[in-house]
Homo-oligomer: A and B are copies of this chain.
Amino acid sequence: MSDWNPALYGRYESERTRPAAELLARVPLPTPGVVVDLGCGPGNSTELLVRRYPRATVQGIDTSPAMIESARRRLPGLGFEVADIAAWRPARPVDLAYANASLQWLGDHERLLPRLLERVAPGGVLAVQMPDNLDQPSHALMREVAALPPFAAALADAAAQRERLPSAERYYDWLSPQAEVDVWRTTYEHPMVDAAAIVEWLRATGLRPFLDPLAPPERDAFVAEYQRRIDAAYPVRADGRRLLAFPRLFVVARRRGLAGA
């Protein structure tokens, strides 16, 4: 894929930051020493970590150079690096590994999450939040439009870039032998002014694998057809707006053993 667009991603920052804050609110650590933001994006979630833990060493990694550059401008002096979460191996176990809206882009969670938990010190926490929206109309309609003749050849692999999330119970099973696990699932209902606003939100994230492979004219045609279907799928509510239902899965796992820093 092309690189991420921090400005577009930031347009719904308060809505995107809410789950990041709710995840952090459930982390039962008063004073962690080393905190890592896995998939830090433009640094909005990292800023929450710094504000809650002003005395911690806070670091951030992301695969996108544009996002890391944006995060460095936002929070100068912190340790931001372009790096892959799947290959992340800190020199010493950290106290908090925090992954907000990033792990959904990685597969094989049955191995990945226990491995991330191993990078956390005893008493430390792995905290994860992931969009769980592939069965929502917003995402089903991306796949529907991608299957139409003008797009099908170019987008044959687009839907494969993210897999459906396993159930909350399975995450509990993978982590509870080594940790106290708190799992929950929240569906937010975001009021959006119109169908175009829903499309704009999704262009910054979920739509990227569908738009990147297309040349500009096909891309415009795809967006027009997609927006037409979004308009039909999200009815106008009593105040004239649309509600974008957005389910997210949360996992907070505290590794058993002596408390960390």
Contact = CB atoms under 8 A, between A and B. Distances in A.
A241 to B, nearest CB: 8
Contacts of A25: 25
A237 interface: yes
Contact of A172 (B176, B184, B237): B237
Specify the main secondary structure of chain A where it touches its partner: mixed
A239 interface: yes
Interface residues of A, number: 24
Contacts of A237: 169, 172-173, 176
Interface string A165-194: 000110011101100010111111101000
Interface centre among A174, A183, A184, A237 (most CB of B within 10 A): A184
Q: Which 5 A-B pairs have CB atoms at the shortest separation, nearest pair first? A: A176-B239, A173-B238, A186-B186, A183-B189, A185-B187
Given A22-B22, A25-B25, A185-B187, 20 more contacts: A168-B187, A168-B189, A168-B243, A168-B245, A169-B237, A172-B191, A172-B237, A172-B239, A172-B243, A173-B237, A173-B238, A176-B191, A176-B237, A176-B238, A177-B239, A183-B189, A184-B186, A184-B187, A184-B188, A185-B186
Interface of A: 22, 25, 168-169, 172-174, 176-177, 181, 183-189, 191, 237-239, 241, 243, 245
